[in-house]
Each structure stands twice: as structure tokens, then as C-alpha cells.
Amino acid sequence: MIQKEAEKIFETRELNVNMGPQHPATHGVLRLVLDIDGETIVKVTPYVGYLHRGIEKLGESLSYFQALPLTDRMDYVSAMSNNIGYCVAVEKLYGIEAPERAKFIRTIVGEMSRIANHLLWLATHALDIGAMTVFLYCFREREWILDLYEMICGARLTVTYPRVGGVRNDVPQEFLDSLWKFTDEFPSRILEYETLIDQNRIWLLRTKGIGVISAEEAVSWGMTGPTLRGSGVTYDIRKHMPYDAYDKVEFDVPIGTEGDTYDRYRCRMLEMRQSNSIIRQCIEKLPTGPVMADAPKFTLQPKDAMMPITHPTKEVAYFIEEKACKGCGMCMRACPAKAIFGEKKKPHKIDQALCLQCATCFVTCKFKSMKIIPGGKGLSDEKLAELAAVPMPEEIAKAAEHLVKHFEFIKKGPKVPEGELYVATEVPKGELGFYFVSDGSGKPYRMRLRAPSFIHAGCLPRLCVGHLVADVIAAIGTIDIVLGECDR
């Protein structure tokens, strides 16, 4: 009786709560609309797309070489794996194969990125659930890996180190030494993290039995990677469709049984140990030889020949000869800095203050009205005109020839036979697939990226319903998503 009275006075209904897109625990710009009954989740509606940059559309207008740096910007915490996935796919499309040494190096850096990714995942996941110390410990080791990246390619985040047909440059010996030292120490570091949380009562209560999904359901939802293997499915692309050097190293695949957050956490911890052992095997077996495929039709050639122009210490200036310029406006449109101005059918001029010395105008000009003037940076227009009257030195002329060839090669790209291809690789987050449709030109007719984070974010409603609001954070952490990859 009293209850009925109370129901009349206090109307009960589900509460609609908006979580994100700027919530620190949503790992990027993910917005969830939660329908909650008390503190129990009734319905979850994820909203994604805040980071959509149209990489698939962009890829259609770029040659296969030009689209490579875009893949860095997808999953920015393990950019190396994305690059490898793209290169493996394009190599298969071209029908070329990377040399043995390059394959081993790619396996090494790929596994390094797996460790770096899992460390970041563990750090943020633990932080979300309330373990602050793990965060600091993990970043200590991740820093070491990023320093190693810097040693081989100069970049820490967006690396673009693997190239179509191999890798950009050979690794120095000091890199291998430092990496060997890392692999020596790393297992003891994993033990450190596990001491902190493995048997921790709070950690167990927050992860055991949360976000349970059965094997059949996980496969049906399209889950891949450690997220799937936590449910006990033996699907690892490194074993199913081996690429690079994965068929030459020995490693085990951790498989869970319960399919809950705790099992997925254990899978990733054991996977880090396996990655560590793969790196050690690769360093031991690392063969000698070239790191770029011997296929000049399909791979980028060394850029030494055009160094007299492009090296930053050579202070060249570009100048338009008034006699030769027809005023077609091609260079004006091509200039990325908008440094060229002038009217139609009248000679154009370069604003030297704005010029970036990128050589785009030089390559674009069809009437050969452009002059490269070595040491001309910062000089006045009159002085440049004087210097332009003298013919270009032989060294510069030769380099310019190479430069034009290089531009053409990158822009048009080598011709690819007509066909379509789907190539999947195992990135730390799951299965990264590239689906290319080629129409016979140097650019993809359709470039499709199958991003694991996108699929995993779609599983969120399935994992959260029935749990408490606090468990949503654990569920977001356990599927390991990065929104840059989800939105592309």
C-alpha cells in the first residue's frame, strides 16, 4: 500500500546520461548515451565520428606511396603496425616481396609496437579502474621503446618507417644492443606490474565477471585480437595467414576461457611476454643483406642523387625567368605556401619571403621557366635575376633531373594490374584489413580500411548492458579502442 502511494508521488523512469565525448576515460572522443535504471545500464548508444578525416576518400586520390603516412594517423599508439599492415597489403598487390632482413626488422618493430600498445593500454585501463602506480610504471618502459623508435627513424609517434618493399633504412648496431638490453629487463618489469594488480582485490572485483562474452558470440560480433582470444577462440592472423617473419619464429598464443575483462587482461600480459621472446629470436636470427626489395619499378630509390637541391644546408632559391614564363598559372595553383602571384598570361613572381623551397613549382612548370639558384636564399629579386642569367651548374642540373623523375614517380605511382585484394594483418588491437580495388592505374580505385577499433566500439552495447555505470569504464578499457582508428 505504502509502495503504491510512493509510486504515485515519485514517478520512476529511466535516466538518460550523456558520457563523453570529452570524458577522460573514453580514450578519445567517444560519446556514449546511457539509459540507466538506478545504477544499472539498460541501453548504451555509442556515437562515433568526431575524428573522421575521410582517409578512405583521400586514399582514392593519392598514389600508393602517398597514402602510407595516412595510416600512421589511424592508430597513433601503434603506428608501426599500421604501416606494416599497409606495406604488406601493397606489396601483395604489386607482386613484390621484401628481402629477408627487412622482414625480420619489420617483425621486430611490429612486436615492439605491440608491447608499446599493450603498455599504454594497461596504463590507461588500470588508471581508469583506479590503479595509479601502474600508469607511471608502464610509461617508463614505453618511453624506452619510443626512444628506440627515434634511434631508427627519428620519429616517436608517427614513424612511417616501413616502406613498400622493405624498410626505410637499416637498423644501427646500437639499436639492436639497446633492444637486447630491453628484452633482458622487460620480463622482470612485467612481473612488477603483475605484483601490483594481478592479485589485487580491487582489481579482481572490478574485472572478474565484467563484460562476459562467449566464444560464438564474440566471433559473430566480429571481434579480433586479444579481445577475441580472451573468450577462447584460437584466431591469430600471425599464425593463420603468416606474413613477414612470423612463420620463422616460435611463439605461443595466449587463450582465455571465461571471456571476461580479467581474462582479456591476462591474455595481453602473456602476449607481451611472447612479443618479447619473438624480438629476441628475431635479433638472434637477423640475416644480413639489403633492406629494400630489388624492384626499381615498384620501390622508392635512394634520394642521394637530388641532395644538392633538397638538403636543408644547400640554401637554394627558386626564381621565375620573365622571358620563359607564359603565365599559365600552373605553379600558382600547385604552390602549397601560396607564395607565387601574378596575372594570367603575364610572368608570375615568387614571394621569396613565403617560399618554402619545396620545389613543387619547379616540377610543375612545363615551359622550363624556373631556375634553381644555389645559395640564393634571402637575396633580392634583382640580384636573383642577375644570377639566373648564368646557366645552372652541372651538379644542380643533374639533381634537378632526378627531382623531376622522383616527383612523377611518387605522384603517378607504378601501374598495378586490375583486380582486388583483401589483406589482413594482426595489429595489437586486432585484425587490420586493407581492401584495395585497383583499376589498372597507380592509384587505388577504392581503399577500404577494416579497423578493429570500429568493430570493437560497436560491441560496447553488448558488453555493458546489465552492468553498473562504473563498469562501462572497464568495458571501454578492455576492448582497447583508439578513436583515431575507429573514425578514420
Partner 1 sequence: MAVTEVRISIHIAGLNPKDIAEKIKEQFPDQVIEVAEFRDQVSVIVKKDQIIPILKYLHDDPLLSFDHLQDLTAVDYQKKKDIRFEVVYNLYSIRYRHHIRIRAQVPENDPKINSVVPIWAGANWHERECYDMFGIVFIGHPDLRRILMPEDWEGYPLRKDYPLQGPALENDWPGFTEVLKRSKELREFEWEG
Residues 418-447 that bind partner 1 (CB under 8 A): 419-422, 424, 431, 433, 435, 437, 439, 445-446
Tell me which residue of 43, 159, 100, 88 sits closest to 425, measured CA to CA: 88
Give the residue, chosen from 31, 35, 36, 56, that forms a contact with partner 1 under the rule CB under 8 A.
56
Give the residue, chosen from 58, 151, 305, 387, that forms a contact with partner 1 under the rule CB under 8 A.
58
Q: Which is nearer to partner 1, 95 or 466 (CB)?
A: 95
Q: Which amino acid is at 127?
A: L
Distance between CA 72 and CA 87 in Å, rounded? Answer: 12
Give the residue, chosen from 19, 96, 255, 479, that forms a contact with partner 1 under the rule CB under 8 A.
255
Cell numbers linked to 392: 645552372
| Residue located via cell numbers 567517444 | 30
Cell numbers linked to 229: 582470444
239 binds partner 1 (CB under 8 A): yes
Q: Which is nearer to partner 1, 308 or 477 (CB)?
A: 477
Q: Cα separations (Å) of 5 from 8, 189, 200?
A: 5, 60, 45
- The 337-376 contact track toward partner 1, x by CB under 8 A, reads ----------------xx----------------------
97 binds partner 1 (CB under 8 A): no
CB 41 within 8 A of CB 469: yes
Q: Which is nearer to partner 1, 444 or 477 (CB)?
A: 444
| Residue located via cell numbers 593463420 | 240
Distance between CA 195 and CA 36 in Å, rounded? Answer: 35
Residues 132-161 that bind partner 1 (CB under 8 A): none
Cis peptide before 393 (omega within 30 of 0): no
By three-state DSSP, how is residue 218 classified? helix
Residues 446-465 that bind partner 1 (CB under 8 A): 446, 448, 450, 454-455, 457-459, 462
Residue 209 CB, shortest distance to partner 1, in Å, is 12
Residues 157-216 that bind partner 1 (CB under 8 A): 216
Dihedral sign (CA 182, 481, 228, 468): positive
Q: Which is nearer to partner 1, 96 or 306 (CB)?
A: 96
Distance between CA 219 and CA 235 in Å, rounded? Answer: 10
Residue 462 CB, shortest distance to partner 1, in Å, is 8
Cell numbers linked to 114: 605491440
Strands (E), 303-416: 317-320, 340-341, 349-350, 370-373
Residues 271-330 that bind partner 1 (CB under 8 A): 274
By three-state DSSP, how is residue 325 classified? coil
Q: Which is nearer to partner 1, 179 or 479 (CB)?
A: 479
Q: Which amino acid is at 91?
A: E
State the residues that interact with partner 1 by CB under 8 A.
48-49, 52, 54, 56-58, 60-61, 92-93, 95, 216-217, 219-223, 230, 233-236, 239-240, 242, 247, 252-258, 262-263, 266-267, 270, 274, 353-354, 417, 419-422, 424, 431, 433, 435, 437, 439, 445-446, 448, 450, 454-455, 457-459, 462, 487-488
